[in-house]
Amino acid sequence: MNVEQARAAIQNLETHNTPPAPDAGPPICSAPGSTELASYAYRWEWGETGYCSETYRQQLEQLARNLKRKIHFDRLATAPVTPMTRDERTKLKAQFLVAEEERDEAKKRAAELYEQNAKLAQQIQLLTVRERELKAQVKDALAERDEAERAAETAEMKWADQSEELQRLKLIADNAPDLGQVEAMRRELDDARRKASELERQAQAHQSQLQQRDRRIAEQNTELTALKKQG
């Protein structure tokens, strides 16, 4: 019995809860459209009553199980006992088999949904851990970039000082009359040039490291954004 049949049965109960008069004869089954004589009187736990044949009783019992409610049957003393026909038994058997298939299918679907939910929970956990790792890597990369920037600034300051010293020595060398002093100053100037060249090379190396770290931070930020979209 599906949901629509259950609703129809409940609506039918509301119109068949008045017992027949003493001289009204055997009651008719309360099933919609039924002309069978009733074999039982029934009462739902909420007080609604009616009459049913043997076939309709089976349907009401199934309905009570579906609704998880109680229903009580009393055999009518004057009701004839009508055995179920072969077609009725076949129909009830078919309904029972269909209900079993629906139950098994529902259990199978519930198991599939539970497994899918477990997999999704595991994926979320993995993505959360990956996100934390990427955030930590980005934090470390930013700290390294800041350190590289400070080192590059220091190297640039040293290079500027050496350049200034180089210009001073060159001026002294150009104006010095003594050849010995000039030679010494030139050697000092060459040393200063080498130092300035080394400092310039270090500054360029620091700048290259800074650019590499910036690219790595950009890549990690891109991966982090993709992971957030997946989550």
109 belongs to a structural domain: no
189 belongs to a structural domain: yes
96 belongs to a structural domain: no
105 belongs to a structural domain: no
Hey, how many other C-beta atoms are within 10 angstroms of the C-beta on 64? 16
Specify the pLDDT at position 8.
55
| Domain count of the fold of the chain | 2
pLDDT tens digits for range 49-67: 999 999 999 999 999 999 9
99 belongs to a structural domain: no
Asked whether the predicted pLDDT for residue 36 surpasses 60, the reply is yes
Q: Band of the pLDDT at 25, cuts 50, 70, 90?
A: low
144 belongs to a structural domain: yes
| CA 132 vs CA 119, 122, 171, 217: distances in Å | 20, 16, 59, 15
Return d(Cα 29, Cα 8) in angstroms, integer: 15
225 in the same domain as 134: yes
pTM of the model: 0.33
What is the residue-wise DSSP string for 114-176?
A: HHHHHHHHHHHHHHHHHHHHHHHHHHHHHHHHHHHHHHHHHHHHHHHHHHHHHHHHHHHHHH-
Q: Which domain holds residue 68?
A: 3-83
131 in the same domain as 49: no
150 in the same domain as 57: no
The residue out of 83, 114, 147 marking a domain boundary is: 83
Residue 189 and residue 170 in contact, taking contact as beta carbons nearer than 8 Å: yes
Sign of torsion over alpha carbons 1, 17, 45, 38:
negative
| Three-state SS at 196 | helix
118 belongs to a structural domain: no
132 in the same domain as 226: yes
Considering all CA atoms of the chain, what is the largest pairwise distance in Å, rounded to the nearest integer? 151
Asked whether the predicted pLDDT for residue 21 surpasses 60, the reply is no
Q: Band of the pLDDT at 15, cuts 50, 70, 90?
A: very low
Specify the pLDDT at position 24.
53
pLDDT tens digits for range 177-196: 666 776 877 888 888 888 88
pLDDT tens digits for range 152-179: 888 888 888 888 888 888 887 777 666 6
